[in-house]
Amino acid sequence: MKPAPWLTLVGIGEDGLDGLSSAARRAVMQAELVVGGRRHLALVGDTPGTHLPWGSPIEATFPAILARRGSPVCVLASGDPFHYGIGSVLARHVDPGDMTCLPHASSFSLAAARLGWALQDCGLVTLHGRPLQRIVPFLRPGKLILALSWDETTPAALAALLVARGFGLSRLTVLEAMGGPRERITSALARDVCLDRVDPLNVVAVEVLADATARVPPITPGLPDDWFEHDGQITKSRIRALTLSALAPQPGGLLWDVGAGSGSVGIEWMLSCPDNRTVAIESDPVRASRVARNAASFWLADLRVVEARAPDGLQDLPRPDAIFIGGGVTSPALLDFCLGALAPGGRLVANVVTLEGQMLLGAAFAAHGGDLVTVNIAQADPVGRFHGWRAAMPVTQWVWVKP
């Protein structure tokens, strides 16, 4: 018969022991070792077991927990330990069968209850230990957002970000220390926010409303070209939409944008999902700096720029889920390296406009299969008092999925 779980994760709120179920309270009182943040340990007061605060880094405390294997150990966590909490981290070291989890209402649940919002309709994001810019993909008119703050400075910084991006009419509600004696709820438009003495333990709720200056990316790819700083080296809007469709972004995917130019494809890859990542490879230092500026203008702090010539600069990069070659395919060696670097099921999309590039893609298509298409786009331009079609250079695109 399998032994009973020895490790209990107890979610706790600002009301301390009073807010725990009888099972959770019993786990705390019977534990030989109680682990948690100093705030959590203070919330339970004096209990029979030894109290151990988390070390720094937090993983430094794990040996002391694992050394008690088989004895009753209790780990305290805020709200739901498996929602942006310690639970999943502990599960890497302790068999889930050796753990019991007794969650408390999460900060998200408490905030939704205070505001009367349906939690399933809200965008949920944590800014705790993460860049403030992670909230940007959620900024769409009419959206309801709940954001876990990093500390007392987060609400004011978030208000400033909203104003800067044209969302100053959005309503911010700051919910502090919910469930305890210090609970306080304040609300104001982002442009009018004046926050004083905010509790470090807070959640920010945002009712998103855009003004006329806001740039709201559509849910489909193909942003206007003038949203990007460029020198003409840019995958144009309509071709970019086709390219993103061919790349087929999936949540959490990593893209190599090879020959990034302005970085537009890699930026739209990241905008498609908050968890997506891009490494932009660009050999021209001026263009590499421009990619970084364009990413910053979309508040994409996680986009990585590598100033190097491909394929040499690709050697030590993390394995990609997709690769876009937009700076022109100049050698079979580059294609071969990229094909080998892709993870199984990964996608490569290469665009060319030169005859030499078309020959290389034609040879790759003959050798590996995939899809090879040529795209012709013409735009109406003035011809005297009338208009006529002005054709852009045809773009040849090869799309290949790794078996």
* Residue-wise DSSP of 326-364: -S----HHHHHHHHHHSPTT-EEEEEE-SHHHHHHHHHH
Alpha-carbon separation of residue 294 from 232, 280, 324 (angstroms): 14, 12, 18
Among candidates 361, 335, 371, 360, which has minimal Cα distance to 246?
371
Percent of the chain exceeding pLDDT 70 equals 100
Sequence-distant (6+) residues with CB within 8 A of 383 are none
Residue 274 has a pLDDT of 82
- Looking at 190-251, which runs of residues are DSSP E strands? 202-207
Q: Are 115 and 122 in contact (CB under 8 A)?
A: no
Average pLDDT, the chain: 93
Longest CA span, the chain: 90
Distance of alpha carbon 293 from alpha carbon 279, whole angstroms: 14
Question: Mean pLDDT over residues 280-302, rounded?
Answer: 93
Q: What is the pLDDT of residues 123-180, one digit of tens each?
A: 999 998 888 888 888 899 999 999 999 999 999 999 999 999 899 999 999 999 999 9
* Residue the block writes with tokens 């029979």: 48
Token readout for 50 is: 């030894």
End-to-end CA distance of the chain: 44
Token readout for 194 is: 């004046």
Distance of alpha carbon 195 from alpha carbon 105, whole angstroms: 26
> For residue 1, what pLDDT band results from cuts at 50, 70 and 90?
low
Q: Are 41 and 77 in contact (CB under 8 A)?
A: no
Question: Mean pLDDT over residues 180-190, rounded?
Answer: 94
CATH number for 7-104: choose from 3.40.1010.10, 3.40.190.10, 3.40.50.1370, 3.40.250.10: 3.40.1010.10
Q: What is the pLDDT of residues 246-255, one digit of tens each?
A: 999 999 999 9
CATH number for 108-207: choose from 3.30.230.10, 3.40.50.150, 1.10.10.60, 3.30.950.10: 3.30.950.10
Residue 346 has a pLDDT of 97
- Chain-centroid distance, C-alpha 162: 18
SS3 18: helix
Could you give the angle at which helices 264-271 and 237-247 cross, rounded to 10 degrees? Answer: 50
Distance of alpha carbon 121 from alpha carbon 365, whole angstroms: 45
Residue 237 has a pLDDT of 96
Query: Beta 73-78 vs 7-12: how paired, if at all?
Result: parallel
Can you give the residue ranges of every domain in the chain? 7-104, 108-207, 225-401
Reply yes or no on whether the pLDDT at 300 is more than 90. no
Q: Are 10 and 36 in contact (CB under 8 A)?
A: no
Residue 130 has a pLDDT of 86
Distance of alpha carbon 172 from alpha carbon 162, whole angstroms: 10
Distance of alpha carbon 30 from alpha carbon 23, whole angstroms: 10
Residue 303 has a pLDDT of 95
Q: Are 223 and 229 in contact (CB under 8 A)?
A: no
Token readout for 39 is: 């705030």
Query: Beta 202-207 vs 254-258: how paired, if at all?
Result: unpaired
- Whether the model clears a pTM of 0.85, i.e. scores above it, the answer is no
The CATH code of the domain at 225-401 is: 3.40.50.150
Could you give the angle at which helices 264-271 and 285-297 cross, rounded to 10 degrees? Answer: 30
> For residue 21, what pLDDT band results from cuts at 50, 70 and 90?
very high
